[in-house]
Amino acid sequence: MCLLAFRLNDHPTYDLVFAGNRDERYERPTSPASFWDDHPHVLAGRDLRAGGTWMGVTRTGRWGVITNVRDPGRVRADAPSRGHLVSKFLIQDGNPRAYVDAIAGTADRYNGFNLLVGAGSTCAYLSNYRDGPETVTPGVHAISNATLDTSWPKTDRARDSLARKTTVSTSPAKSGRVDPDDLLSMLDDRRRFPDDDLPDTGVGPEIESLLSPLFIESDAYGTRASTVLLIGKDGAITFVERTFHHGTVARTRRFDFDRLPTRASAD
């Protein structure tokens, strides 16, 4: 994921409302979201080059997602794949904060990243561009290729749009349910921002402009998938992934299931 916005633990219907775009080189081989054969409780796409994932959820409501930090001067070719930070969390049990605490000591082995891992309404955050793990507070948040809640034009737009689309009206006719299609439409925003508003991340003005929309298109790199995840307070989970081929919709997959109890609660 290279852009995400989420509402955590401050909605009357949902523990989590999540919407994000995964941006990647078109040539990198990946498989679309599915339940994994080797870990059947994990629903996620898969990076077929390194084996990890950028975003996923489990049948017990554990979820994880990662973005990179754009810093071309500090990229190491020999760094391990960041996608394993997500997949390792999804395939095991344990508290989200305990997980990021345990891996914080090895964070500098990786190229720049933002990692969010959660269980229902509980969420922990780790970046090797910030000092130590954090517990994410309730509310609406956004991340792109800087750290959590850094104000970039695209993150501000995504956060504000998600807040509007998930605000529950006081009208009794409103059910409080979120339509995934509304969030997928929000993510399909291809408008570039004015050059004067963009950050300087070391890639030059032309590339900054190309990377400025919520949805990115170029000859070799762009948005490969949009994902919506809803975790309801009633235990209902909805996961929708829309994949793209060079900016054109390829397929939309939707998974609906009820959250299973964790081992600890089952005991």
| pLDDT tens column, 144-192 | 999 999 999 999 999 999 999 998 764 443 568 999 999 999 999 999 9
> Residues 161, 210, 78, 51: what is their CA dihedral angle, to the nearest 10 degrees?
50
106: helix, strand or coil: helix
> Does some domain include residue 139?
yes
The per-residue pLDDT for range 1-25, each reduced to its tens digit, is: 899 999 999 999 999 999 999 999 9
Does residue 222 carry a pLDDT above 70? yes
Cα 87 to Cα 85: distance, rounded to the nearest angstrom: 6
Residue 169 pLDDT: 62
Task: Count structural domains, the chain.
Answer: 1
> Does some domain include residue 267?
no
The tally of CA atoms less than 13 A away on the side-chain side of residue 77 is 0
Cα 190 to Cα 215: distance, rounded to the nearest angstrom: 5
> Does some domain include residue 59?
yes
> Does some domain include residue 140?
yes
Neighbours of 255 (CB within 10 A): 15
- Kindly indicate the confidence band of residue 246, based on its pLDDT and cuts at 50, 70 and 90: very high
Neighbours of 232 (CB within 10 A): 21
- Kindly indicate the confidence band of residue 42, based on its pLDDT and cuts at 50, 70 and 90: very high
Cα 144 to Cα 155: distance, rounded to the nearest angstrom: 6
Cα 53 to Cα 128: distance, rounded to the nearest angstrom: 19
Cα 220 to Cα 60: distance, rounded to the nearest angstrom: 37
Residue 262 pLDDT: 74
Domain range for 39 is: 3-261
> Does some domain include residue 116?
yes
| Cβ partners under 8 Å of residue 210, min gap 6 | 192, 216, 218
Percentage of the chain lying above the pLDDT 70 cut: 96
Does residue 225 carry a pLDDT above 60? yes
Does residue 117 carry a pLDDT above 80? yes
- 262 versus 261: the higher-pLDDT residue is 261
Cα 161 to Cα 94: distance, rounded to the nearest angstrom: 33
> Does some domain include residue 249?
yes
97: helix, strand or coil: helix
Residue 267 pLDDT: 27
> Does some domain include residue 248?
yes
Does residue 264 carry a pLDDT above 50? no
Cα 82 to Cα 128: distance, rounded to the nearest angstrom: 11
Does residue 103 carry a pLDDT above 80? yes
* Mean pLDDT, the chain, integer: 94
CATH code, domain carrying 28: 3.60.60.10
Cα 153 to Cα 30: distance, rounded to the nearest angstrom: 29
Residue 173 pLDDT: 38
> Does some domain include residue 8?
yes
Give mean pLDDT, residues 217-228.
97
Does residue 266 carry a pLDDT above 50? no
Using alpha carbons only, what angle is made at residue 159 by residues 75 and 241, rounded to the nearest 5 degrees? 75
Q: Which helix (H) or strand (E) holds 234?
A: none
